Amino acid sequence: MNLRPYQSEAVAAVYEHLRTRDDNPCVVIPTGGGKTPVIATICRDAVGPWNGRVVILAHVKELLEQAADKLRHIAPDVPVGIYSAGLKRKDLGYAVTIAGIQSIYQRACDLGPVDLLIVDEAHLIPPDGEGMYRQFIADAKVVNPLARVIGLTATPFRMKSGPICEPDNILNHVCFEVGVRELIVQGFLSPLRTKAGLQKVSTDDLHVRAGEFVASEVEDLMDKDALVEGACAEMVEHTKDRSATLIFSSGIRHGQHIVEVLKSKHGVECGFVSGDTPAGVRSGILDRFRSGALKYLCNVNVLTTGFDAPHIDCVALVRPTASPGLYYQMVGRGFRLHPGKADCLVLDFGGNVLRHGPVDAIRVCADDRGEGEAPAKECPQCHALIAAGYQTCPQCGHQFPEPNKQKHEAKASTEGILSGQTTREELHVSETTYHVHMKRGDPAAPLTMRVEYRVGFNHYFREWVCFDHTGYARTKAEAWWRARSVEPVPGGTEEAVELARAGALAPALHITVEKKAGEQFERVVAHRLGDKPPRLEGDEGLPEQLPQPVGTMYGIPDDEIPF
């Protein structure tokens, strides 16, 4: 089995992290993008060339089965055991153990020394407390203090605590990340279309608990005759030529209402599964859906992760959610490619796209918990949900009116359409990384330090600090450094990156980004910084060797560099 290029890059990034850092890496690959082949390849290499032992942790049996299947294809000679009550196996003593966390979290010592702990759906690791993942990892490190943790996820954030990778968390650094939009363009994920329901609901009166709308209030809001009947009529109309529709309802009562209306009003059979569905019944319904014998399937919070039905070409969200992670996981059921599948239609009856942004460009801000204006809008003519910057609807050609002059500055960060307009926007920074950059094709050019600010889920802004230059550029670099550090100004870029990675700089809490109409790239023009850290003690914590400078890293073209 050959890995896709980005999967190979992910594996290489994990190995580079384990070689050069002492903390734990995380890989971010979208739902449907193939995290399991990455896991299987790491297991093959860990057991073969490195003679190590690995445990793979997941929370649903479907993910365990996927991992076992991929390992059989990629590494047929690797001894693999499964420890899962749901799969009726409790294997011990294998080079690779694939384990359900609910079954094994108190049995880490029974496995013996393990070198790598690989966690699928790693966003489920709590940032603190004693949850099952944290207990298992802590016990495994008692047996082998040198054990390393590798996380994989499509959503590297938690609504209550923000990014899952922090210095004090179990996972510390995103070593590789690829986005939904990128994989759609490359042809590895299905194109997506979004359409709002004609029936509108207001979530203004819903309360939020632990980052999500209160379930009972959501069900009462959505389970109204007019809304259910209208949603079912739209689903049937829009899916006449589609193969498989997965429906997310807000509760058991609501889901059963949808099933009944589809049958009585439209003569359509719709399956239904929830957490209360017996395992045998659930398995039979899912098999019928996967085989194509059942076109419609409604569920309540059970088919968000681990459920693999690539032929799904319509996802209907008949519920609102305040969680961008749950929104992403629901829509992600339609990401996979399948023969004859042109795209996946997302029917949104809960205002989720407007709340969280387009499905291929979700905006996540841990500070405001997703509040504020999302970068999406609804076409009044065809009800397509599109990015806010469109002036012409790509679905029906509707022309949106020009925004009035008073709104230009307020909307410029998402619209950006007026000639000569300069706009600024302050953004929360979730992670800052530092890199040595060499200008491609010009080895004599001075090195520069590239500073990357991650904003939200998968959006980066960059600036270049010129320690190896002379004159005004060097003066600016010195002022930039003094504003952030009590360490002496470094003599060159490589020293600056080394010190920055060792913790010499104050954290950037927010950045202000300026965009001028007609220019290709935004510029970081201001910063809100945290406290300067104390002086570093000796050389402790400094990396032994920096990566070799390259002209293009993370797909950043040299013509983006503003000098």
Q: Domain-by-domain residue ranges, the chain?
A: 5-183, 190-397, 426-560
Separation between Cα atoms, residue 367 and residue 346, nearest integer Å: 28
- pLDDT for position 224: 92
Tell me the average pLDDT across 383-392.
61
Percent of the chain with pLDDT over 70: 82
Residue with token string 């999302």: 374
Q: How crowded is the C-beta side of 538, counted as CA atoms within 13 Å? A: 2
Find all residues with CB under 8 Å of 191, minimum gap 6, and list them: 184, 342, 343, 344
Sign, CA torsion 215/221/225/226: negative
Separation between Cα atoms, residue 422 and residue 460, nearest integer Å: 20
**Which has the minimum average pLDDT: 234-243, 301-310, 337-346, 518-527?**
518-527
The model's confidence at residue 179, banded by pLDDT at 50, 70 and 90, is confident
DSSP character string of 374-401: -SEEE-TTT-BEEETT-SB-TTT-PBPP
8 Å CB contact between 152 and 176: no
Find all residues with CB under 8 Å of 326, minimum gap 6, and list them: 212, 304
8 Å CB contact between 507 and 486: no
Whole-Å CA distances, 269 to 254, 256, 259, 435:
16, 12, 7, 56
Reported as type and span, the H/E element at residue 54 is: strand 54-58
DSSP character string of 70-134: HHHHH-TTS-EEEEETTTTEE--S-SEEEEEHHHHTT-GGGG---SEEEEESGGGS-SSS--HHH
> Is the confidence at residue 560, as pLDDT, over 60?
no
Residue 291 DSSP SS3: helix
Separation between Cα atoms, residue 20 and residue 370, nearest integer Å: 35
What angle, 0 to 180 degrees and rounded to 10, lies between the N-to-C axes of helices 252-266 and 225-238? 60
> Is the confidence at residue 238, as pLDDT, over 70?
yes
Find all residues with CB under 8 Å of 420, minimum gap 6, and list them: 516, 517, 518
Pull the structure tokens for residue 537. Answer: 């003690």
Please, what is the end-to-end C-alpha distance for the chain in angstroms?
A: 44
- pLDDT for position 341: 94
5-183 and 190-397 agree in CATH topology: yes
Separation between Cα atoms, residue 35 and residue 18, nearest integer Å: 18
Q: Give me the CATH code for the 190-397 domain, please.
A: 3.40.50.300
Beta strands in 116-229 (DSSP E): 116-120, 148-153, 157-158, 162-163, 173-177, 192-196, 208-209, 212-213
**Which has the minimum average pLDDT: 31-40, 135-144, 454-463, 523-532?**
454-463
Reported as type and span, the H/E element at residue 473 is: helix 472-482
8 Å CB contact between 366 and 162: yes
Q: Give me the CATH code for the 5-183 domain, please.
A: 3.40.50.300
pLDDT in tens, 180-223: 888 988 999 998 888 777 766 788 888 888 778 889 999 999 99
**pTM (predicted TM-score):** 0.65
- pLDDT for position 285: 96
Count of CB atoms situated within 10 Å of the CB of 54: 27
Separation between Cα atoms, residue 329 and residue 299, nearest integer Å: 13
> Is the confidence at residue 413, as pLDDT, over 60?
no
The model's confidence at residue 140, banded by pLDDT at 50, 70 and 90, is very high
Find all residues with CB under 8 Å of 476, minimum gap 6, and list them: 465, 466
Residue type for position 302: V
Whole-Å CA distances, 353 to 132, 198, 232, 238, 324:
33, 14, 19, 18, 10
Residue 426 DSSP SS3: strand
